[in-house]
Amino acid sequence: MKKNIITLNKIAALLMLALTLFSSCGDDHNFTPYAESVSATTAKVKFQNTTIGPGGTNFTVNWTVNDTKTSSIAVLTGLPLGVATGGQYPASINYALVPAGNQTMKVEIPATSTVAVSTVLTSPLVLEATKNYTTFLVGASPTYSAYTVTDDLTIADPTKAYIRFLNLIPNSPVAGYDLSIKELNSNALVYSGVKYLSGSQAFIPITPVPDLDATTYEVQLRTVGTATIIAKFTLTPRKGRIYTFFARGYMGGLSAGLPSLTVNIPVLTYYTNK
């Protein structure tokens, strides 16, 4: 009996020690769904390809920063492929970790078995440590540029969803576009007259859809001052989430150098920042 009591006392002591260690560990770490370990010399960047190539063709790209490849490549039948038009790297909610400071970013079309690698753009990329950014490769042949925005992911009200809108259509009308959100019985104008390479870098709050509710909002890109829809998509925004809406493509479409009703037409889409 005495032996059993001693064993139980040892087990109790071990349990207390484990709880103490776990408790002290918790003081040093914040176990939240969005917690990331980021170096004090590193920034976080999303890379987006929204380009239109010669004659209305689309092409894939890879990014390098200070001659170090940043974006990954996929391999299909032995040929390296990059990020397609409309695609992003990383392809999920995450950001790529990039050294902070004054960097040189190069965007390349990867080589194939018959064509050598070619450079689309070389551009400065200025990043502050621990901050988040999205850099878009924008434009239509032969003019391309980098459009980099800061992603401030702090939110004032965790019960809201947050959005912003950027216009990346290179031949946008002079007046730009309107953006509305059709929510239940309303169709609120959220942004008005957003011109090319313009919009709001700051995120604004909207009412989210409650958890477990599958209701969708229809987000519409419209001709300024009218109800004419140029492009649209649906979204179920959730509380605490942050979304970037953006328009890409070519007004009137473009294929083989000619106007097209199906190729490179304006597209309204989004990605999730957090």
Q: Does 28 have pLDDT greater than 70?
A: no
CB 149 within 8 A of CB 201: yes
Amino acid at 124: P
Amino acid at 206: I
Mean pLDDT of the chain: 86
Q: Does 12 have pLDDT greater than 80?
A: no
Query: Could you give the domains of the chain?
Result: 35-151 (2.60.40), 157-274 (2.60.40.1120)
pLDDT tens string 121-176: 999 999 999 999 999 999 999 999 999 999 999 999 999 999 999 999 999 999 99
The model's pTM: 0.83
Q: Does 78 have pLDDT greater than 80?
A: no
Q: What's the rounded Cα separation, in Å, for the pair 41 and 146?
A: 23
Return the sign of the alpha-carbon dihedral for residues 97, 103, 104, 105: positive
With a CB cutoff of 8 Å and minimum separation 6, the contacts of 238 are 161, 208, 209, 211
Q: Does 3 have pLDDT greater than 80?
A: no
- Decide: helix, strand or coil at residue 190: strand
Query: 62-65 and 101-109: which strand pairing?
Result: antiparallel
Q: What's the rounded Cα separation, in Å, for the pair 172 and 30?
A: 45
Query: 68-69 and 62-65: which strand pairing?
Result: antiparallel
- 82: which 2 tokens? 């990059």
Amino acid at 250: Y
- Decide: helix, strand or coil at residue 42: strand
Percent of the chain, pLDDT > 90?
Answer: 72
Half-sphere exposure of 3 (CA within 13 A, CB side): 0
- In our burial notation (b when 16+ CB lie closer than 10 A, e otherwise), range 47-75 reads bbbbbbbeebbebbbbbbbeeeebbeeee
Q: Residue length, the chain?
A: 274
pLDDT bucket at 183, cuts 50 / 70 / 90: confident
Q: Does 265 have pLDDT greater than 80?
A: yes
- 222: which 2 tokens? 């419209």
pLDDT bucket at 34, cuts 50 / 70 / 90: very low
- 123: which 2 tokens? 């551009």
Could you report how far apart the first and last alpha carbons of the chain are, in Å? 58
pLDDT tens string 201-249: 999 999 999 999 999 999 999 999 999 999 999 999 999 999 999 999 9
- Decide: helix, strand or coil at residue 54: helix
- Decide: helix, strand or coil at residue 7: helix
